[in-house]
Structure 1
Amino acid sequence: MANQHVYELPMRWADLDSLNHVNNVVYLDYAAESRTILVEDGIVGADERVQRIAVDFLRPLLLSKRPVCVASTRDGDALVQEITSGDTETVFARVTTVFGPPVDVERGQATFEPFPLRLRRSDVDATGFASLTKAFEFFQEARIILFSSLRTDGSGASRFVVGHVDITFGEPIPWRREPYPVTSWISRIGDSSIHIEAEIAEEGRLYAHARSVLVGFDMTAQTSRKLEDHEKKLLSEFIPNN
């Protein structure tokens, strides 16, 4: 059985979103910081390349004085990190990192206008490229813009929560002044969720590809909900070749 390595990290006010929950992207920060410690401890090789990272957002994590705990288990090419709080056993998010060479990704057909992604200097780490954690932030921003562009009361971003995000990495993203195009499309509509795919790519060069599952959510009842018929009708118009 693979050994588990547990590290404690501090929670900060800046980690929270407008609902006083830990922002989805911050879970990636927790996992990335823990991976750095794993490198220092010789559990992850400093030269190992990350092929993909998948995150399951299981339940919201609120501000607490207790430290965030990241329990990491290495099994072959996969590193599974479960994020808890203090001495509780409740898992709030699960981050799976797969190490290995780049793989081919089935490309899709964008149905929304490309979102111009402009990098900031702070997006770039010591390697001279955008950090892996920032890729999640890029795709999150693109999703928010996507929903804002729909301009309909029934399909606003506030009526959905992110349940799962899976990003496959291609070439590193170097800093430049010109924006990168982020293209998006809806690949599936279920009874209570929608699947959105997006990619940062240009001229046949793929930097990153994301698959996200958004779950319908009732803010008043704080529970998942089924999609309404008018939502499904509207969203179905953005499925390629539909």
Structure 2
Amino acid sequence: MRHIYRCPLRWADMDAYGHVNNVVFLRYLEEARIDFLFRPDKDFQQGSVVARHEIDYKRQLVHRHAPVDIELWVTQIRAASFTLTYEVKDGDQVYVRASTVIVPFDFEAQRPRRLTQEEREFLQEYTDDGDSGSDAADTDQEEAVAA
């Protein structure tokens, strides 16, 4: 399952060319991540920190009044970290693909912590490799090479 966040565009998001500035996409990802993790029914109240971002810019997003969709899903869950993957898009038109590694964090002790069972179960609901059919294609290709 994927989480969808409708992200509003702001006038200040624009660069001198009328496009959404590349740096602003980090804020968009943050807004989607907060909308996903900090909900009344599911909350990472013990805290978390971002360990890494990776962003691939695919095309320019021109400023407009309509929001842009950000699809977010979980691609990896480890003992003390998880990876969120995003697509900033309109329908089939993708502007940005990105991922963020997040580490659960104990702010009182000032150190990373392991995911709780409740957090793990919540994240597993949104686990998706985001690449439908690629495993089958890889297996077919490996079998063809082996033959």
Q: Please give the range of the TM-score, normalised by the shorter of the 2 chains.
A: 0.7 to 0.9
Deviation at 1:239, TM superposition (A): 0.7
Looking at structure 2, the residues matched to 197 and 181 of structure 1 have their Cα atoms a distance apart, in angstroms, of: 14
- Amino acid corresponding to residue 135 of structure 1 in structure 2: F
Deviation at 1:231, TM superposition (A): 1.6
Which of 140, 149, 160 is equivalent to 2:30? 140
Greater relative contact order structure (CA < 8 Å, 6+ sep): 2
What residue number does 1:186 align with? 74
Please give the TM-score of this superposition, normalised by the length of structure 1.
0.51
Looking at structure 2, the residues matched to 182 and 150 of structure 1 have their Cα atoms a distance apart, in angstroms, of: 20
Alignment of 1:73-222 (within 5 A): 111-112=2-3, 114-149=4-39, 151-153=41-43, 155-156=44-45, 159-222=47-110
Structure 1 position 227 matched with structure 2 position 118: no
- Amino acid corresponding to residue 207 of structure 1 in structure 2: Y
Is the 8 Å Cα contact of residues 42 and 122 (structure 2) preserved in structure 1? no
Deviation at 1:150, TM superposition (A): 6.4
- Amino acid corresponding to residue 200 of structure 1 in structure 2: V
- Amino acid corresponding to residue 2 of structure 2 in structure 1: T
Please give the TM-score of this superposition, normalised by the length of structure 2.
0.81
Secondary structure of the 2:34 match is: helix
Percent sequence identity over aligned pairs = 26
Secondary structure of the 1:149 match is: coil
Give the aligned length. Answer: 129
Secondary structure of the 1:165 match is: strand
Could you tell me which runs of 5 or more consecutive residues in structure 1 were left unpaired when the two chains were aligned: 1-109
Looking at structure 1, the residues matched to 108 and 9 of structure 2 have their Cα atoms a distance apart, in angstroms, of: 36
Is the 8 Å Cα contact of residues 52 and 102 (structure 2) preserved in structure 1? yes
